[in-house]
Amino acid sequence: MNLHAVRAIYRFEMARTWRTLMQSILSPVLSTSLYFVVFGAAIGSRIAEVDGVNYGAFIVPGLIMLSLLTQSIANASFGIYFPRFVGTIYELLSAPISPLEIVLGYVGAAATKSIILGLIILATAAVCVPLSIAHPFWMLAFLVLTAVTFSLFGFIIGIWADNFEKLQVIPLLIITPLTFLGGSFYSVNMLPPFWQTVSMFNPVVYLISGFRWSFYGIADVSVGLSLAMTLAFLVLCLATVWWIFRTGYRLKA
Amino acid sequence: MSTTCRDLCSSAISNQGQRAADKTSPASLVYRVRMPPIISVSNLSKTYASGFCALKGITLDIRRGEIFALLGPNGAGKTTLIGIVCGIVNATEGRVWVDGHDILASYRAARSLIGLVPQELSTDAFESVWATVSFSRGLFGKPPNPGHIEKVLKDLSLWDKKDNQIMTLSGGMKRRVLIAKALSHEPQILFLDEPTAGVDVELRKDMWDIVRALKASGVTIILTTHYIEEAEEMADRIGVINKGELILVEEKHELMRKLGRKQLTLYLHKRHTALPPDLQDRGLELAADGSELVYTYDTQAERTGITTLLKDLSAAGITFKDLNTTQSSLEDIFVNLVRNAK
């Protein structure tokens, strides 16, 4: 295993985060904090509790998940797309490094950034709203699993995209709507039966439900199902990445 | 090393390019028979998805420690060939061994020996010179070695720029950064794809000095270039590639000796409007408004015909005040080869 290479990529990507601190960390933290201020302090006090949880606190897992998904995708997709865009990918392809090591470096760094971000948002939320974590281990497990899975997904997007528009289109047009409609701000049980059934086709529902369960012990779907869906998506992403490196799709001529 | 590779290695001296080398000293012959080529390319072909056939059955051996110049017009397949050896492009057919390691089956061992300086100035914009060169060393599996990075940067006159962001450097400096990145992991083989494209004359001379110094340190260098002058100046052997086919591989001096044609220019005492009938069809040409007579001859021919020509000119009453001979340059040879291949 070329651990020097994994470390080099990881450090290179993390250095980019610190260099762009405003964009990478502060900006998503600030925008998510605004949700807490608006829904937690201003509007939240006028909304009834959901499943016995204060509304401001109820939306915290969903909002962390929203940031986690979008930032994991953004970090990982940009991390691999930029070398392709500027041409420095030649060095990665000509180095004595395996696909697994490349993925470990890029996805590891992207997931690390997202987890740091998620934890900062969590700390910020704890200041703004009454927060409790019923299952800390599972909370961290869902956080890490989701960050890794969606960083892998972002990595795939970064290889698939051949322009900046494509890089943005999936996070903006698919992930964000799915997250908003995946129960970030409400319990799926509050919807009419028809829309409850439709929601079951939204994979983000399972992520948010499982993550919320780790906080408050309440869930829209069973925790086992949430975990299984997350793992299934992880396996799907791993298989796609394996196929990409096997065929050289969008990487090699 | 695989049997096939060993066969290739032992048969290497039979290829066109190496036949010439065999005529050199016996010691050199023994060395070359014993030392397998550092790169062996066998029947390599590449057809892109568009249907464009960039390489057609290339077979080539690169010797240890040599500077090999690959010449060819745009689109000839030079960069594709380099791309396949380095792992950037997938070959359609054929195999490549680097120091006996198959580039696919033993890609780690093969790639760790190679440094690549690409044609394009593809660099990170926001990283510092030091960071990007250190990154390259790590990527190639080498532990950090600040002493080596410092030496490479000093050798390339980049030391005082080590903390600068790459985006602030000139094109020539960026080219040096790419060389520094390629040398960061102490490669045994260096590919330079058009290293002096778009750089000024002074920097080009600097690059030549760098390449010579690398060769002196034992690095094998494969160089592609449009500048024939560059190949003529530096290469030990020359390969000419055109439309995906390797037209020729030859020792540079041998190539120039074999294919070089000489011209004898006679500066006449009087202007002549036409040649006497006896002297026509002898490869003679009147130039400079009839004040010069140019005779083109083959240096390899048994008889160059110069003695007879001078005798006949004297008999015809054509006298000259001076004479000059010139040998065709590598550029002339290259242009002729490519033209004949069309």
pLDDT in tens, chain B (342 residues): 333 333 333 333 233 333 333 334 444 444 544 678 999 999 999 998 888 899 999 999 999 999 999 988 888 889 899 999 999 898 999 999 999 999 999 999 999 999 999 988 888 888 899 999 999 999 999 999 999 999 889 888 889 998 999 989 888 888 889 999 999 999 999 999 888 776 777 777 878 888 888 899 899 999 988 777 778 788 899 898 888 989 889 888 887 776 667 788 999 988 888 888 878 777 788 887 888 999 888 766 677 788 888 888 888 888 899 999 887 666 677 777 777 665
Alpha carbon separation from B137 to A112, B134, B218 (Å, rounded): 23, 5, 19
Phi, psi of A243 (to 5 degrees): -65, -40
End-to-end CA distance of chain B: 38
In the CATH scheme, what is the code of domain B3-256? 3.40.50.300
State the pLDDT at residue B1.
37
Q: Is B328 exposed, middle or buried (0-12, 13-18, 19+ CB in 10 A)?
A: middle
Does the distance separating the beta carbons of B109 and A96 come in below 8 Å? yes
Does the distance separating the beta carbons of B143 and A95 come in below 8 Å? no
Q: Is A99 on the interface with B (CB under 8 A)?
A: no
Nearest by CB to A19, from B48, B118, B126: name it.
Answer: B126
What is the percent of chain A where pLDDT is above 70?
98
State the pLDDT at residue A184.
83
A:68-97 residues touching chain B, CB 8 A cutoff: 86-88, 90-97
Does the distance separating the beta carbons of A12 and B83 come in below 8 Å? no
Q: Is A104 on the interface with B (CB under 8 A)?
A: no
Q: Find chain A residues with C-beta within 8 A of B136's C-beta.
A: 91
B:151-190 residues touching chain A, CB 8 A cutoff: 181
B235 to chain A, closest Cα gap in Å: 25
Q: Find chain A residues with C-beta within 8 A of B111's C-beta.
A: 94-96
Does the distance separating the beta carbons of A95 and B139 come in below 8 Å? yes
* Cα(A75)–Cα(A106) distance, integer angstroms: 9
A98 to chain B: nearest residue by CA?
B108
Q: Is B109 on the interface with A (CB under 8 A)?
A: yes
Does the distance separating the beta carbons of B111 and A96 come in below 8 Å? yes
Does the distance separating the beta carbons of B109 and A8 come in below 8 Å? no
Q: What does the block give as tokens for B213?
A: 């110094």
Q: What does the block give as tokens for A244?
A: 């990409």
What's the mean pLDDT in A132-159?
A: 92
Nearest by CB to B86, from A4, A94, A253: name it.
Answer: A94
Per the prediction, chain A carries an average pLDDT of 87
Q: What does the block give as tokens for B207?
A: 């690059």
* Cα(B67)–Cα(A157) distance, integer angstroms: 42
Does the distance separating the beta carbons of B124 and A8 come in below 8 Å? no
Does the distance separating the beta carbons of B120 and A94 come in below 8 Å? no
* B325 three-state secondary structure: strand
* B146 three-state secondary structure: helix
B168 to chain A, closest Cα gap in Å: 16
Q: What angle do CA B335, B220, B205 make, to 5 degrees?
A: 60
- pLDDT exceeds cutoff 90 at A41: no
Q: Find chain B residues with C-beta within 8 A of A11's C-beta.
A: 135, 138
Q: Which of B42, B41, B36 is nearest to B9 (CA)?
A: B36
- The domain locations on chain B are 3-256, 260-330
Does the distance separating the beta carbons of A91 and B139 come in below 8 Å? yes
Q: Is B317 on the interface with A (CB under 8 A)?
A: no
Q: Find chain A residues with C-beta within 8 A of B135's C-beta.
A: 8, 11-12
pLDDT higher for B230 or A126? A126
> pTM value?
0.77
State the pLDDT at residue A86.
86
Residues A56-83 pLDDT 10s? 888 889 889 988 998 899 889 988 998 8
- When scoring B45, B135, B139 by the number of chain A Cβ atoms within 10 A, the one with the most, hence best to mutate, is B139
Nearest by CB to A96, from B80, B135, B141: name it.
Answer: B141
Q: Where are the beta strands (DSSP E) in chain B?
A: 39-47, 53-62, 67-71, 93-98, 101-102, 114-117, 189-193, 220-225, 237-242, 245-251, 261-268, 284-287, 292-298, 320-327
Q: What angle do CA A6, A10, A15 make, to 5 degrees?
A: 150
- pLDDT exceeds cutoff 80 at A5: yes
State the pLDDT at residue B7.
38
- The domain locations on chain A are 3-247
pLDDT higher for A233 or B232? A233
Does the distance separating the beta carbons of B48 and A86 come in below 8 Å? no
Strand B220-225 relative to strand B284-287, pairing: unpaired
